[in-house]
Amino acid sequence: MKSNFYKFYRQLIAAVVIGVFALFSMACPKAQNTYRAAKEASAKIQIYGTKLIDANIAAYKAKEISQADFAALNRLTGTFVEGVEIYRAALKEAEKILASGGTLPKGTLDRLDLVFNEKVVDAFLAMTQKLGVIPGVNTEAIKSIVAGIRLAILTVQEAFASAHAYEQRSALWV
Amino acid sequence: MALVRRYAVAIAEGRLEAKKIAAMSDEELAVFDEEAFAALKAKQEEAEQLAASGNGETK
């Protein structure tokens, strides 16, 4: 089942890569800054994700969360990790294009945006929702705990929104 | 409350690491990103193996 997931989303990656190329092939600082912001946020998301999974493991070993809750959290974090992998693959393709230059058809930035929101953001929200219903876990504490990932996600979304606005104004697109 | 503190410590540690990222060069960030993803996947695999073994420790 996991291999089917990867197969499907590798096809999706191919479809969104053109969007990434379109974004990051802009021959100007805007593209560089957007790419850097997306790359930094991706790294931060991975750091926080690792810390949270580690905390889940420790909590389960200490019997602070049940086996059922641990398994449910693992399914959600697994989906999150897969989403991050898909997003990282798109960023890597963008990096190649940044190095080689060139322009591609406009209007495809939306696809990368969609991948990020459907794969990374939705998986993150599902994780936080699950954390919110585990018995004994303080809701206010969870809000502060996941703030790091949320901020990184917002950074990426802001970068893409800014790039969208630039794309609409720019005369570079074919 | 131990569970709450555990997650709070995790996110605090994450913030300290995240601060270093902005100061990295593009090359350093690329290397860091690869290592961070490898660590993320390894941690997820560890969690899945633990869940499969059903090996929670006694408090």
CA distance B27 to B42: 23
Q: What is the mean predicted confidence (pLDDT) over A45-57?
A: 84
pLDDT top residue among B11 and A59: A59
- Contact (CB<8Å) B10/A52: yes
- Contact (CB<8Å) B48/A78: yes
CA distance B33 to B48: 23
CA distance A146 to A150: 6
pLDDT of residue A19: 47
Chain A residues 45-84 with a CB less than 8 Å from chain B: 46-65, 67, 70-71, 73-74, 77-78, 81, 84
pLDDT top residue among A59 and A108: A59
Chain A CB contacts of B46 under 8 Å are 57
- A84-115 residue pLDDT tens: 888 888 777 766 766 676 554 454 566 667 77
Asked if the C-beta of A146 comes within 8 angstroms of chain B's C-beta atoms, the answer is yes
The angle, 0 to 180 degrees and rounded to 10, between the axes of the packed helices A67-100 and A29-61 is 160
pLDDT top residue among A84 and A162: A84
pLDDT of residue A58: 81
- Tokens 């750091």, residue? A47
Pick the most confident of A66-70, A99-103, A149-153: A66-70
pLDDT of residue A155: 77
In the structure, what pLDDT confidence band is assigned to residue A62 with cuts at 50, 70 and 90? confident
By percentage, how much of chain A surpasses pLDDT 90? Answer: 3
Out of A41-45, A95-99, A134-138, pick the least confident: A134-138
By percentage, how much of chain B surpasses pLDDT 70? Answer: 61
Query: Is the pLDDT reported for residue B46 higher than 90?
Result: yes
In the structure, what pLDDT confidence band is assigned to residue A37 with cuts at 50, 70 and 90? confident
CA distance A62 to A32: 45
- Contact (CB<8Å) B36/A50: yes
Q: Mean pLDDT across chain A, nearest whole number?
A: 70
∠ CA A11-A13-A18, rounded to 5°: 115
Q: What is the mean predicted confidence (pLDDT) over A26-42?
A: 70
The torsion region of residue A65 among left (phi > 0), alpha (psi -120 to 50) and beta comes to: beta
What value of ipTM does the predicted structure carry? 0.75
Query: Is the pLDDT reported for residue A15 higher than 70?
Result: no
